[in-house]
Structure 1
Amino acid sequence: MVSGNKRPAPISRSSWITALVLSGTALIATAALYNRLPSSVPVHWNIMGEADSYGPRYMVWVLGSLPLLTALLMRLLPQIDPRRGNYEKSERAYNAVFLATVTLMTLIHLMVLAVSVGIDLRADMIVKAGVGVLFVVIGNYLGTIRSTFFFGIRTPWTLSNDEIWRRTHRLGGRLFILAGFCFIVSSFFRGLLSAILPFSALAIAVTVPLVYSCVIYKRQAPPD
């Protein structure tokens, strides 16, 4: 049984307050600018940095709520994870990824508001650079996290063996850092190459650890 004074998640008080300030900023900015917004707002940009998809004005409330909803979800998930004890052992990593995720979502929402009221911003640069920083943060901590069902590279093989989990995450951490830097570098350019480079790196960062965990498992499995 979980004691009554146990924290609901491995999120520090300062991280939680920071997340509430960020998500509150997104909602306050939405309320302050809502009457100045056009009837449709940009929600997607192409590889040339041009808005190519729009949604109704009320969509900014949905987008503005995402930082808070994400913060609440990340606070809840450890409580329903059968391996919730491992979150405390990965507290530093979880806090870093938690804050980086909420910060990025708030930044993107504020960017949408700014562009919608006519401020000239390179949305593609902001998004790719922000995602790149998030991936670098994830990669930096990936090798330190313990086995859980919601946080990390979760395959049947990593979840079944702590050594496979550790080795897979050490490799995945390096690949995510590389992918993050590819996103950051590509943010300074436009065109097809600026899309191919980061998303190819991301595909490698996601796929290689999955395959690697399976290979390690098969090598460790006793012969029939």
Structure 2
Amino acid sequence: MLSKKLTVLSSLVTLSPIILGLILWQYLPEKIPTHFDLTGQADGFSSKLEGIMALPLIILGIHLITLFIGTKKPIITQKGAALYLIYWLLPSLCLVVQTGILLTSAGFINRNLFNPIAGLACLLIVLGFLLPYLKQNPIMGIRLPWTLADEDNWAKTHRFAGRIWLVGGSFLFALSYFKADVQSAVIVVLGAMLVVPIVYSYLLNRAEKK
């Protein structure tokens, strides 16, 4: 069953950067970076108001849709760390990213210290730790026909994926502080983190059918 308390708290955390943005209003430039390329460089800008409001509101909408869909699906049967991942992943991501953008734009944090790729890498490492604990559900995880149909395949796939994401996230973190253009390397690492577990799961399914 959906926890109203956790839903309200996580929603407030998602929206909290808006308050920070209003507090910092006088320090913010007229244009705020709202999109970054794979090297962490800003390549898209929005007006001050849109830069403050847009990301938290978009993330809140996705967060609530995910939770309300989950009340009709077995996702709420998750326990422990995996359950808290469902409630807090998007709000935490929004809080960290939007706070970093606002503080950097206002000049309170050196731009060189705000590294979106390093932040993404840390998120992937955390997910790598949690993936093995994620039970079957139709919303989060590696949702393939054979993983959803076979609990054993799901468990083995997510244990394997957890290790891959830990290694990949750590490698991305190291790459994020290289001064050279690492965009191609980032794409390759992210692609491998997505494709390798899927291939492993497919081969596992084929082997189990023989």
Match of 2:196 in 1: 208
Cα distance, 1:209 vs. partner? 1.4
Q: What is the 5 A alignment of 1:63-212?
A: 63-81=55-73, 83-84=74-75, 87-96=76-85, 98-122=87-111, 125-193=114-182, 195-212=183-200
| SS of residue in 2 equivalent to 1:112 | helix
Q: Contact 1:70–1:102 (CA<8 Å) still a contact in 2?
A: no
Under a length normalisation based on structure 1, what TM-score does the superposition of the two structures give?
Answer: 0.78
CA 1:198 to 1:50, structure 2 compared with 1: closer, same or farther past 3 Å? closer
Q: Name the aligned partner's letter for residue 201 of structure 1.
A: V
Aligned partner letter, 1:130: G
- Equivalent of 1:8, from 2, 25, 47? 2
- The alignment partner of 1:58 has SS state of helix
AA partner of residue 175 (structure 2) = S
Query: 2:42 maps to what in 1?
Result: 51
Distance in 1 (CA, whole Å) between partners of 2:133 and 2:39 is 37
**Residues 8-46 of structure 1, C-alpha deviation per residue, up to 9 Å, x if partnerless?**
15x9x5x65653453242121122233543332212344
Is the CA contact (8 Å cut-off) linking 2:38 and 2:186 kept in structure 1? Answer: no
Query: How far 1:48 moved relative to its partner?
Result: 5.8
Offset, 1:155 = 0.7
- 3-state SS in 1 of match to 2:137: coil
Alignment correspondent of 1:4: none
The question of 1:27 aligning with 2:18 is answered yes
CA gap of 1:78–1:169, structure 2 versus 1, over 3 A, is same
- Greater shift, 120-129 or 139-148, is seen at 120-129
Cα pair 2:82 2:133 within 8 Å, conserved: yes
Specify whether residues 218 and 95 from structure 1 end up closer, same or farther in structure 2 by C-alpha distance, changes over 3 A only: same
How many percent of aligned residue pairs carry the same amino acid? 22
In structure 1, stretches of 5+ residues that fail to align are: 1-6
Aligned-pair distance for 1:168? 0.9
Answer whether contact 2:134 2:141 (CA < 8 A) is retained: yes
